[in-house]
Each structure stands twice: as structure tokens, then as C-alpha cells.
Amino acid sequence: MSTLCESGRFASHIDQFISLAFMTSTNETTATRLTGVGLSAVAVIGLRGPRALQCVQDCFTPATNASSSLSAGQVRYGTWKSSDDGPGESIVLTPMTDGSFEIHGHGGEAAVSAILASLTDRGVESVESSTWQKSAPILLSEAEHVLQRCVTSQQAAVALDQTRGQLAQWGQHWLQRIDEVSSSDELSEETESLLAALCKDAQTIAANGERGVRLTEPRRLVLAGPPNVGKSSLMNQIVGFRRSITHDSAGTTRDVLQCDTVIAGVPVRMSDTAGIRETSHLTESSVAIEREGIRRASVAVESADLLLIVCQPSTLIDLQDFRRSLPVSNKTHVVEVLNKADLLSDNAKSIANEIEHQTIASEDDDPGVGKLMKTLAAHLTATLPPRHSPVPICQRQLELTNQLCQTTSLKNAATMLRQLLTGVAS
């Protein structure tokens, strides 16, 4: 840890990085029209930079006597006083992060121009939206890019937390801690303790990031099992329409049939696979097709996030052997489903009682389907990152966080944190 003593000068640079994490890259206060030019009911103006809060305090009068504090995610209605002596514009103000605001007002050109004029009169630079985007801090740009690709509110909530600075605030917090220790005369024990705490905290953030980088990807839910156990019927019940063709004869499904749906706010790509069985009894003309279907089923099983192994009473006794024959990843969660449970014989009930499984009867309205859906929902929602927490949501962020887990120097840790916050290697 002696290297920290030699780097007193690096501590003096930390404060400037802390203030830049969610400001513009030029450190100027800028404003732009975020919505398109033309007739519209509502227009949105973005405002960010070190003087943004002062401009808001000068121009905005809330409609109620609410707390004067402005926190990210709040929505405030009130009046924006323009540069002239007019009545002002009715607007909705939304703080995005420290030093960053959105002003939602009337879409007319006069209203937009009046608000922008009130800002430029206070030294704010009015820029084109393209310039605004290019000058955005990297964490904000990355979070907004992910947010645009979210298709459910649950996904979007996690990304929105990051646009409001959850990861940035985490990085700023640790830079401040390092700065405090670097200016201390007693470095050894305190440095060791701080580095250990940082590495431990980074491990938690990196674990969030493993789920965060997959935030916008659909989870892969695969149905597998022997032929004619009701996989296709079960898929149709889950998605709510007849996606798969069903028939009493075995081998109806020859390929992997996919269907995109949403379960408990989590996008899911379901795969109904061909029944896996021995093919020695088949004719030469049909065996090639079925073997290819079985091969594709095995590939789908291997890449599954959640695997439903479906059986029926006649195949229940071989369920565990069948499960062991599948190429299941250790990251895959497996749920065993006993379909057509109303056909279970007395002899088979003792076997069923020894196996942890979901039970579904033959009828379409069987309550077992609802119980299965709750089980699927619980497993799928657990794959989303936590809310209101710092979450790396792209590969760059995750790689830097993983490096922080292994760092042996606070000087190196500060460099990694600055790179995380600004995108600039130093």
C-alpha cells in the first residue's frame, strides 16, 4: 500500500472527476429541445450542467408548497417565468440527476422559445440535440441506450434507475472515500480496510451486472420431454393461443418452435422442442428428420435459462433417467412438470409423491397451469437486477467493475472508477 503515499497528486484530481460523472463532457451548462420541431401538444427541453439548478431556482415556481428539494424522479408542476414580464409558462419539471432536468411544456414554438430564451439570458448555451447527445456523460448515454431497448416496465425501471445516477453515485462515493484516505497521515491499516471494503462492494455490484448486461435479452424458456407428453399443449396454454400444432400421435413436433411472450414483466422466448426418444424403430426415411429435431432440441436445452421437463404418468418412472440424459447447464433452473396428472394410476402415485414437480391435469382450465405460471414468474423475476441499486448494464461497465473486485491498489482503484464514470482511461 506504499504506492498510495507516492501518489499524493492523484488525490487532488479526484474531485474534478466526481463532479463530472453526470455533467456534460464540456462542463458547460447547456439546454436543447429534446422533442422534434413542429406542431405538438407537448415539448421537452433538456437542461444540464453546473448552473442548471440555479436556473431552475430562478425561473420555476411550484404550484404547491411542497418541499423545495428536487430529487431525481420527482415530478413537479408549476410555472416557468420567461425573460419578459408575461405570466410565464405552465410546465412539469422532472429532475433527472444532480444538475440535469427535463422541462415539459406546451409544444408551441413560442412557448419553447420563451423557455430557452430565459435560460440563455442566464448564461446557458442553447445547442442542437445532436450536440447535446454527443456531449452527454458516458454513463447516461449507456443507460439511455439500454432504456430505449426495454420492452417492459420492469426492465425499463432498472435502466431508468441508472439514468438517474445509481451507478454514478456509487462510483462517486468510492472516489470520495479514497480521497479522504489519501489525505490522511496514517495510511496502512485504513487503506487496507478501505480496499477490502471496496472489493467486497464491487463484487456485489458485479453480481448485479451479470444480470444487468442481459437486461434487454429475452429469457430462454425451453420445454423438453419424451414424445406425446403434452409439451405443445402446455406451450399453447402458457402463451394463450395455439402456437404449436398438437396431435395424439407421437412426433408431431419435428423442429424447435419459438414464441415470444412476457411473464411477470420479463420478456421470454419459449421453445417447444421435438420429443426426445430412441429412433432405432423408425424407418430410414424418417429417422434423419427426427434425429435432426432431437439434435436441435438438445441445443435448445443446453442454452436454456429455465427448462421445463414435461412428462406424463406413463413416462414418470423414467423421469430421472431422462433428466440425466439432457445436456443441462449448471446455470439452468429446472422445473419438472407432470402433465395429464388426472390419468395417474394408484401405482404411479407413490412415484409422483417422491418427486418435486408441478402437476397439471388434462383439462385446459386446470388450476395447475396457474400454479405453474406463479412458479415461472418467481424464477424469471429473480433474473432481473434489483431496483434502486447500482447496476452495470453494458459490457464496459461490467468489465471495469470486475477489475475493481481484484485490484490491490487504491491508486489503481481510483483510476478504474474515473474510467467508469467518464469513459476516459488515465
Which 8-state DSSP code applies to residue 246? -
Specify the 3-state DSSP secondary structure of 38. Answer: coil
Contacts of 43 (CB under 8 A, 6+ apart): 33, 35, 104, 105, 106, 107, 108, 111, 112
Position of cell 503515499?
5
Q: Which amino acid is at 278?
A: E
Q: What confidence score (pLDDT) does residue 352 get?
A: 60
Position of cell 391435469?
361
Residues 14-49 pLDDT 10s? 334 444 455 445 578 999 999 988 888 999 999 999
> Cell numbers of 341, please?
396428472
Q: What confidence score (pLDDT) does residue 191 get?
A: 85
Helices (H), 127-187: 129-134, 138-148, 153-163, 166-182
Domains 23-135 and 223-381 belong to one CATH topology: no
- What are φ and ψ of residue 358, in 5° steps? -95, 140
Closest CA to 20 of 385, 420, 381, 316: 420
Enumerate the β-bridge partners of residue 171: none
What is the 3-class SS of 315-366, one letter each residue?
HHHHHHHHHHHCCCCCCCEEEEEECCHHHCCHHHHHHHHCCCCEECCCCCCC
How far apart (Å, rounded) are the C-alpha atoms in residues 205 and 196? 14
How far apart (Å, rounded) are the C-alpha atoms in residues 170 and 176? 10
Domain covering 23-135: architecture: 2-Layer Sandwich (3.30)
How far apart (Å, rounded) are the C-alpha atoms in residues 166 and 157? 12
Nearest 5°: CA angle at 178, between 424 and 209?
60
Q: What confidence score (pLDDT) does residue 344 get?
A: 67
Q: Round to the nearest angstrom and report the end-to-end CA distance of the chain.
A: 20
In contact, 338 and 311? CB cutoff 8 Å: yes
How far apart (Å, rounded) are the C-alpha atoms in residues 35 and 2? 53
Contacts of 103 (CB under 8 A, 6+ apart): 44, 45, 46, 47, 80, 91, 92, 93, 115
Contacts of 160 (CB under 8 A, 6+ apart): 143, 147
> Cell numbers of 232, please?
405443445
Burial class for 406, CB neighbours closer than 10 Å (0-12, 13-18, 19+): exposed
In contact, 166 and 389? CB cutoff 8 Å: yes
Neighbours of 336 (CB within 10 A): 19
- Please tell me the CATH superfamily of domain 223-381, with its number: P-loop containing nucleotide triphosphate hydrolases (3.40.50.300)
Question: What is the distance of C-alpha 224 from the center of its chain?
Answer: 28
For the chain, the C-alpha Rg in angstroms (whole number) is: 29
Q: What confidence score (pLDDT) does residue 365 get?
A: 59
Q: Where are the domains of the chain?
A: 2-17+152-215+387-422, 23-135, 223-381
Go through the chain and tell me how many residues it has.
426
Which residues of the chain, if any, have pLDDT below 50? Answer: 1-20, 23-24, 185, 245-252
Q: What confidence score (pLDDT) does residue 90 get?
A: 94
Global model pTM greater than 0.85: no
